[in-house]
Structure 1
């Protein structure tokens, strides 16, 4: 099963590169990208999971309604994207349930940072997908963590997919920068080995990020964004469909592995 997921959040990433961006622009850019994603998923009849901050959800009620009505899963990405306190785990869960009318069972920490699994359990989540089990200088050092799903503190941990053996990450940055054929080969190897694929993206990737003066992004971040990203995602999904890969939400995946 392909677990396609999107972290929908206020677009605060320019702050990491010393650029200012207004809150209204943060929301507008993420709205535009989320609409593009939903249009792609509708076109190919694919179900996905959206990890959402409360801040974005409060400013995009119509998109939350569309996500739910389209049969996708809504999960928590925290209350805010750039601020975290342990109490936000439960607070975000409850607020997203109030906004969506659906039970929130999953959590992903902003920027895939570490989060206390005991706090995840206390907040009532069934699963956590906040681990990138690879090594990236200055970001992740998780080579000691299982590549595939496991239980910790009564919570199902579902790490992002990395390739067997070399643990090459299959997340959004590699999708932008690798030739698509090589990315597909790594994805195929991982899917056949693990019987599932957990890959994640963001709405702002589906908008034009080429303006260096505005966003400050280096080439490896802004490469293949906007229209090119839409085309690449459609290409990837079409290829997966042709390969007979199934798609599902994290909740679907949990039902499958419990059988």
Structure 2
């Protein structure tokens, strides 16, 4: 099973000297990037899970409603919110969508599983920092979903052969021929492959002059759209199964 997931987050990079981009414009960039992702998913009739950063969720009500209406899952991505903030936003977005928010993703700040269970989350999808040295930091880890305090803990996927993780950076960096082979070989060994990308990777850095490293500008913007299109076309051609996170886990 292939679990396609996307983090809806605003780009935090500083701007180049003499250029500024307001918070409102950064939000608009995230919205347009996410719409591009949804359009590509629509072409291939593939459903995915979208993890919206909690601090901007209330500002994206129209976008989240549109995504949900197309059959995609809305979940949360927590960067810096405390349990009180999460609980309030969760209630408001659930009321908006008339659906339960079942999943949450964490990276640097990790809230205790007991607290997440009290907020009625069903699964946690934690991710790690993905920088240029990340693939070489750890060569082996568990890839099975486990139950802990009533929560399903979903780990990041990692290729059992190349030992490369399926994070945003690897998708951006690796030639699609090798990425396809990695997915295919991993599915021979594991029950699922969890892929995640960030909305900011679809930013046109030629238009918006953010000061991002060269390796992060590589294959960004329209090239990311093209890579996603190629991946989804291949998935459909090979008749490979895909699923929203909540459906696969439960």
Q: TM-score interval w.r.t. the shorter chain?
A: 0.7 to 0.9
For the Cα contact (< 8 Å) 2:122–2:151, is it kept in 1?
yes
Q: Aligned partners of 1:14, 1:139: CA distance in 2, in Å?
A: 22
Unaligned residue ranges in structure 2 (runs of 5+): none
Give 1:225 deviation, angstroms: 1.1
* 1:60-79 equivalences in 2 (<5 Å): 60-78=60-78
For the Cα contact (< 8 Å) 2:54–2:81, is it kept in 1?
no
Q: Aligned partners of 1:133, 1:143: CA distance in 2, in Å?
A: 15
Q: Which residue number corresponds to residue 228 of structure 1?
A: 223
Give 1:113 deviation, angstroms: 4.9
Q: Aligned partners of 1:198, 1:98: CA distance in 2, in Å?
A: 28
For the Cα contact (< 8 Å) 1:135–1:142, is it kept in 2?
no
Of 141, 165, 171, the match for 1:169: 165
Q: Which residue number corresponds to residue 122 of structure 1?
A: 118
RMSD of aligned alpha carbons: 2.9
Q: Which residue number corresponds to residue 181 of structure 2?
A: 185
Per the alignment, do residues 105 and 175 of structure 1 end up closer, same or farther by CA in structure 2, a change over 3 Å counting? same
For the Cα contact (< 8 Å) 1:107–1:125, is it kept in 2?
yes
Give 1:28 deviation, angstroms: 0.8
How many residues were matched structurally?
249
Task: Tell which deviates more after alignment, 123-132 or 12-21.
Answer: 12-21
Per the alignment, do residues 119 and 106 of structure 1 end up closer, same or farther by CA in structure 2, a change over 3 Å counting? same
- The question of 1:89 aligning with 2:68 is answered no
TM-score, scaled to structure 2 = 0.88
Q: Deviations over 1:16-61 (max 9, x none)?
A: 9999641111111101101101101111100001111344332222
TM-score, scaled to structure 1 = 0.85
Per the alignment, do residues 139 and 154 of structure 1 end up closer, same or farther by CA in structure 2, a change over 3 Å counting? farther
Of 227, 250, 253, the match for 2:248: 253
Give 1:251 deviation, angstroms: 1.4
Q: Which residue number corresponds to residue 98 of structure 2?
A: 101
For the Cα contact (< 8 Å) 2:145–2:155, is it kept in 1?
yes
Per the alignment, do residues 237 and 27 of structure 1 end up closer, same or farther by CA in structure 2, a change over 3 Å counting? same
Per the alignment, do residues 186 and 16 of structure 1 end up closer, same or farther by CA in structure 2, a change over 3 Å counting? farther
Give 1:151 deviation, angstroms: 1.4
Q: Aligned partners of 1:88, 1:163: CA distance in 2, in Å?
A: 36
Q: Deviations over 1:165-218 (max 9, x none)?
A: 553111111111111111111111222211211111122222212468x31111
Secondary structure of the corresponding residue to residue 125 of structure 1: coil
Where relative contact order (Cα < 8 A, 6+ residues apart) is larger, the structure is 2
